[in-house]
Amino acid sequence: MKQLEVLQKEEKELYVIEETIEKEEKQVKRIKESYEQHFHEARYFLDNLCYLFHKNEQSTFYQSLMDEYSQESRRILEHLEIDETELHDQKKRIVDLLEDINYEKRKLLVEEDTNEY
């Protein structure tokens, strides 16, 4: 019976961890969506600047600025995607552990039932 209590305690702890990971996943997703929106707005602004100064001698400056901005934005999005993937992997490990605990609990309950007879 003590073993079952230990498994239940561990299961509760894992559910709390899983819930925390789900909250973090949602937060990363919201940040990513917000950043993508800002990225597109800034990209549109830079495109307009580039168009306005296309005939200017500094047109290459605006083009290089836009390229640098795009590159940095892609890096940020890649980091957010990596965070999202890591959280997903953590959650999968927790779910696997929960499945293992459920299996152990069922096994213990079956053993108790067979011992009673």
Looking at the chain, the number of H-run helices and the number of E-run strands are 2, 0
Q: Given a cut of 70, is residue 80 above it in pLDDT?
A: yes
Banded pLDDT at 117 (limits 50, 70, 90):
low
What are the pLDDT digits (tens) for 22-72?
999 999 999 999 999 998 898 888 778 777 766 666 667 777 878 888 899
Q: Work out how many domains the chain is built from and give that number.
A: 1
What are the pLDDT digits (tens) for 103-114?
999 998 888 878
pTM of this structure: 0.75
According to the model, what pLDDT value does residue 93 have?
Answer: 97
- Count CB-CB contacts under 10 A for residue 106: 10
According to the model, what pLDDT value does residue 90 have?
Answer: 96
Q: Which of 113, 105, 106, 107 is nearest to 4 (CA)?
A: 105
CA dist., res. 51 & res. 59, Å (int): 9
- Count CB-CB contacts under 10 A for residue 4: 13
According to the model, what pLDDT value does residue 27 have?
Answer: 95
What range defines the domain where residue 14 resides? 2-116
